């Protein structure tokens, strides 16, 4: 009877597979920073400039010498000689000397001689041009000093960072309009199965359209990989072997999505095993859904045999494929898995010793979010289209009772 | 003294602004389903076919008449005449009659006459071609019936749904290779400020590079909008008025990112107010950072005056801009805001009555995630580049004590 000789726990399988891949993308390319969203930095980025580039006012007010405001209060204001206004976008045309104050706006350049800004709220401009100051300021108050944010030579972004809008803004603030990033990893996707036809064709009796190639491709793309579709092959070992070798040559990672039957799994495993060392590392994971997953590394590149069931394929893609795409893409740290806290609406039982992932619908209620388990038969693709998230029941539990609070792995982003 | 006449609470400001926008994108376009990731459905999608298209085996085993297995057990197996194997990808060439069994693989087409599949584990193929069955099956067991997932005429996806890999797989399974989606909203971004220069230029004393335009543009893009950059204008009312009118004409929503000074805020407010009814709805929000935000609707289109401080701009973009882009993009429901549970490492005080958002660093520890508040001065752009998330302190709290568990609005996705 063809069965899995030994099922591996998902966390152990994950460690084995991730640990066996040392190679990450070494190709780098220079691109415009404004187009670098979600790209991964190739090198540490070093600042070439001061930020801010000059001492700036951090509020609207009057630039003064702090010592001149000493003791000022509403009942006993300090009086200053108004020196005019600092224009935005250019250097002030005056200095501040003892007893002088210059009107300045947020972001304005602090005039020489001044070392603090009194907020407008605590001042009064008098008809004779004098400025009344009703509150003392300390030296440096309401001033952002040159280089206080960043100085030349400082490392501002580490290597292996996925660039967010926040980093892109920071780079542009320093005038870094081009940046070296890792090449986007190419991920080959092969479909194998005598019954599989392209989505555009009309199935004859016994045939089904290819779902998983594109579900996986569209999961890979926002993760930071480029899917490369290698089409559909019949279950003929020589053909799969040839195509898989080609995919391994031309891409950085390969997904083989085969049928759900034991025979197509065995067939896929045997072909993957021929592709080079160390070969198949895990064949069968103690997880539901997703048990018939094959984890391999061939010629230093990760290869994964995906389960045929579309729900299983999505679960395995989230837990295994996405982190691997990020790893080979050069990300030095992985984003944390975010969850949504919700109250379970029904009892769920689970087999102890196995990690279960149950699709759930999320319902907003007055008392917070509710998680409603979706009970489904295998191979129903629209189960997932109706699911908002997955509930993880760890191996050491044999179920979760209704009304308990649970952490949902959210599927809408 | 120029001050905000009346600060509005963020949730109220949000309701006022969102409520004042009725128009969402009405333009629709037909695109290929495989390129429809994250696009929004224009209409409900109706199935045109059965899924599965035929009765399928859901396990590897033998297709039989369930009634023939009645009473079968390990000690007293039922015996069947083997009828051969159902090929993958085509119709079986035999029927199942009383006492007959056909070998079938997961996904195979159930032969006429059979109504259940006995799992391979509970069978034994004998040398004489007979099949021993050691467990009874109920009618329908291990079979996925034609149309059990979806039937013709069923609504499979509502209008206003952001398409995920799961939906794309479901559509392709039905052969729906093209789909009608809403046009992607265009979001105009205008920068105003005498001190602002393009990132590629070298600032003279008093000048700063434009950060916010691109930070905002790259926040808008993954949200489902196309940023349209209108460049940098000096603080001249007529110029801003002309450019804003042009942007309102050519886009679906406009962001004006001006300086942080009271004068540039007032100036921006006055120009926005001229753009049409209902005009400025909120000027000043009781939130930190982000107070000097202007929410407006002109000619039915949302307009927002963004705070100049880059940290404030990101907070306001997350809380106000992103939901509005989704609304005008036609999303019928908004994704839930995901948070990460973490333990606070330090006391944080906050002004009661005001909503505060504190940047935090997330540190993984043995006891789960720690949230370390980042104390920063306004206008430090790299504050955000070092932050993993934002901690929300609601208006009714005046702080949070160290060691409390908090929900972090995560900034890495």
Per residue in B256-274, pLDDT (tens digit) is 998 778 888 888 999 999 9
**Residue B110 tokens, joined:** 């159930």
Q: What is the pLDDT of residue B413?
A: 66
Decide: pTM greater than 0.80: yes
pLDDT above 50 (res B367):
yes
CB atoms within 10 A of CB B124: 13
**Cβ burial A142-151 (10 Å sphere, 16+ → b, else e):** bbbbbbbbbe
Q: Which two tokens stand for residue B248?
A: 């309102």
Q: How far apart are CA A152 and CA A155, in angstroms?
A: 9
Give A217's pLDDT tier (boundaries 50, 70, 90).
very high
Among A125, A169, A263, A369, the strongest candidate for a mutation testing the B interface, having the largest count of B CBs within 10 A, is A169
Q: A364 vs A342, A388, B146, CA distance in Å?
A: 9, 12, 34
Structure-model confidence comparison of residues B63 and B341, the more confident one: B63
In the prediction, which pLDDT does B2 show?
44
Residues 6 or more apart in contact with residue A97 via CB below 8 angstroms: A65, A113
- Does the pLDDT of residue A295 top 90, yes or no? yes
Give the mean model confidence (pLDDT) for residues A61-89: 97
Structural tokens at position A78: 């300090």
pLDDT recorded at residue A335 = 60
Select the more confidently predicted residue: B149 or A386. B149
Cβ A328 vs Cβ A185: under 8 Å? yes
Residue A3 has pLDDT above 70, yes or no: no
State the DSSP H helix or E strand holding residue B117, giving kind and residue range, or none if neither: strand B116-119
Residues of chain B in contact with residue A144, where contact means CB-CB under 8 angstroms, are 377-380
Q: How much is the average pLDDT of B45-67?
A: 96
**Percent of chain A whose pLDDT exceeds 90:** 83
Over residues B360-369, the mean pLDDT reads: 86
Mean pLDDT for B313-322 is: 95
Averaged pLDDT of chain A:
93
Contact residues on chain B for A170, CB-CB shorter than 8 A: 211, 381-382, 384-385
Residues B220-238 have pLDDT tens digits of 999 999 999 999 999 999 9
- Do A153 and A125 form a contact (C-beta atoms < 8 A)? no
CA of B165, closest CA in chain A: separation in Å?
A: 5
Per the structure block, which two tokens stand in for A337? 């898995």
How many pairs of residues across A and B have Cβ atoms under 8 Å apart?
A: 333
Q: What is the mean pLDDT of residues A247-251?
A: 97
Angle at the Cα of A223 from the Cα atoms of A220 and A224, rounded to 5 degrees: 95
Please give the average per-residue pLDDT across B156-182, as a whole number. 96
| Residue B213: band (very low, low, confident or very high) from pLDDT cuts 50, 70, 90 | very high
pLDDT at B412: 77
- pLDDT reading at A258 higher than 90: no
* pLDDT given at position A336: 66
Average pLDDT value for residue range A144-159: 95
* Dihedral sign for Cα atoms in the order A88, A91, A95, A96: positive
B160–chain A Cβ distance below 8 A for any pair: no
| Residue of A61, A63, A165 to mutate for B, most B C-beta atoms under 10 A | A165
Closest listed residue to residue B121, CA positions, set B88, B74, B75: B74
From the list B108, B166, B412, the residue facing A385 with the nearest CB is: B166
A99 Cα to chain B: minimum distance (Å):
23
Q: What share of chain B is helix, strand, coil (3-state, %, to 5)?
A: 20, 35, 45
pLDDT tens readout for residues B114-123: 999 999 999 9
Contact B336 A410 (CB under 8 A): yes
Chain B nearest CA to A21, separation (Å): 23
Q: Do B195 and A33 touch (CB under 8 A)?
A: no
Find where tokens 């045109």 sit: B48
The string of pLDDT tens digits covering residues A159-192 is 999 999 999 999 999 999 999 999 999 999 999 9
Burial class (CB in 10 A: 0-12, 13-18, 19+), B72: buried
Q: A369 to chain B, minimum CA–CA distance in Å? A: 10
Residues 17-46 of B with CB under 8 A from A: 33-34, 37-38
Give the single-character DSSP code of B317: I
Closest CB from A38, A169, A261 relative to B105? A261
Instruction: Please say if the pLDDT value at position B338 is more than 80.
Output: no
Percent of chain B at pLDDT above 90? 83
Using the beta-carbon criterion (under 8 Å), do A88 and B193 form an inter-chain contact? yes
Integer Cα distance of B82 and A13 in angstroms: 39
Alpha-carbon span B335 to B350, nearest angstrom = 28
How many angstroms away from the CA of B281 is the closest CA of chain A? 24
Give residue A334's pLDDT.
Answer: 64
Domains, chain B, with CATH or none? 10-26+184-328 (3.40.980.10), 39-51+150-182 (3.90.105.10), 56-144 (2.170.190.11), 339-410 (2.40.340.10)
């Amino acid at each position: 009877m063809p069965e899995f000789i030994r099922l591996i726990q998902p966390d152990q399988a994950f460690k084995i597979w991730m640990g066996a891949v040392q190679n990450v993308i070494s190709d780098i390319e220079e691109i415009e920073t404004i187009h670098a969203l979600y790209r991964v930095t190739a090198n540490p980025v070093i600042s070439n400039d001061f930020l801010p580039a000059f001492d700036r006012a951090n509020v609207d007010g009057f630039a003064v010498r702090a010592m001149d405001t000493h003791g000022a209060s509403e009942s006993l204001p300090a009086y200053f000689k108004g020196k005019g206004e600092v224009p935005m976008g250019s250097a002030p045309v005056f200095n501040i000397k003892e007893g002088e104050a210059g009107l300045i706006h947020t972001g304005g350049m602090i005039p020489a001689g001044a070392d603090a800004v009194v907020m407008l709220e605590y001042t009064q401009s008098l008809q004779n041009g004098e400025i009344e100051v009703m509150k003392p300021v300390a030296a440096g108050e309401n001033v952002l000093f040159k280089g206080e944010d960043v100085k030349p030579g400082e490392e501002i972004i580490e290597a292996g960072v996925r660039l967010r809008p926040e980093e892109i803004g920071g780079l542009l603030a320093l005038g870094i309009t081009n940046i070296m990033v890792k090449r986007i990893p190419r991920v080959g996707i092969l479909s194998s199965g005598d019954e599989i036809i392209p989505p555009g064709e009309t199935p004859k009796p016994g045939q089904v359209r290819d779902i998983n190639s594109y579900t996986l491709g569209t999961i890979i793309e926002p993760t930071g990989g480029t899917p490369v579709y290698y089409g559909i092959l019949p279950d003929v070992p020589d053909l799969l072997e040839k195509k898989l070798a080609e995919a391994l040559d031309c891409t950085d990672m390969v997904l083989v999505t085969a049928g759900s039957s034991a025979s197509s799994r065995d067939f896929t495993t045997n072909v993957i095993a021929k592709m080079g060392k160390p070969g198949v590392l895990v064949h069968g994971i103690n997880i539901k859904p997703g048990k018939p997953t094959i984890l391999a590394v061939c010629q230093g590149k990760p290869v994964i045999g995906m389960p045929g069931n579309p729900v299983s394929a999505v679960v395995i893609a989230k837990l295994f494929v996405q982190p691997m795409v990020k790893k080979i893409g050069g990300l030095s740290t992985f984003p944390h898995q975010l969850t949504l806290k919700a109250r379970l609406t029904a009892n769920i039982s689970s087999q102890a010793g196995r990690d279960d992932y149950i699709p759930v619908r999320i319902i907003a209620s007055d008392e917070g979010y509710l998680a409603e388990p979706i009970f489904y038969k295998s191979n129903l693709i629209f189960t997932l289209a109706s699911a908002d998230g997955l509930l993880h029941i760890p191996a050491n539990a044999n179920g979760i009772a209704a009304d308990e609070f649970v952490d949902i792995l959210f599927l809408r982003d």
